[in-house]
Amino acid sequence: MHDTLDGISREPITSSNLVSIGYSPERQVFAVEFKSGLIIHYSGISPELASEFYCAGSRGSFYSKNIRGKFHAQTMTGPCRSCGSVSQGPIGEVCARCGDDKHYAIEKRDVPADVEVESVNNG
């Protein structure tokens, strides 16, 4: 299991772009971790869709076709503003590398206008 972030444990997967995935059936939130270290939580994911994602032959393709841009997305990790560390850390937490600043969310602009994207603000 990968670290738990916001109460969702993720398990490692084999994919060209994804590292781990996890699901909270109580909250209907699906967590996706990318090779860059970025972690995004998607809300409104039904248990059936989560099950299909877990069982998909190509999870990256399944993500692109069925999740990305279709559900409310909350960015959970980001880089450090002070040291420029590209390693992702939980948004709002102090950077483990430099200890000077907190990680922040990088806003993406490639999300359809009708899909709301929210960043965690712990600071």
Of 29, 18, 14, 106, nearest to 63 (Cα)? Answer: 18
pLDDT tens column, 104-123: 777 654 444 444 555 454 44
Cβ distance 9 to 44 under 8 Å?
no
Alpha carbons 122 and 56: distance in angstroms, whole number: 34
CA distances in angstroms from 1 to 16, 19, 39, 44, 115, listed in the order given: 19, 11, 15, 23, 30
Of 54, 7, 62, 13, nearest to 33 (Cα)? Answer: 13
| Beta strands per DSSP E along the chain | 2-5, 8-12, 18-24, 29-34, 39-43, 72-75, 77-78, 89-90, 117-119
pLDDT tens column, 83-95: 766 667 777 888 8
pLDDT band at 11 (very low <50, low <70, confident <90, very high): very high
pLDDT tens column, 37-83: 888 999 999 999 999 999 999 999 999 999 999 999 988 887 887 87
What does the domain layout of the chain look like in residue ranges? 2-74
Alpha carbons 120 and 90: distance in angstroms, whole number: 9
The whole-model pTM stands at: 0.73
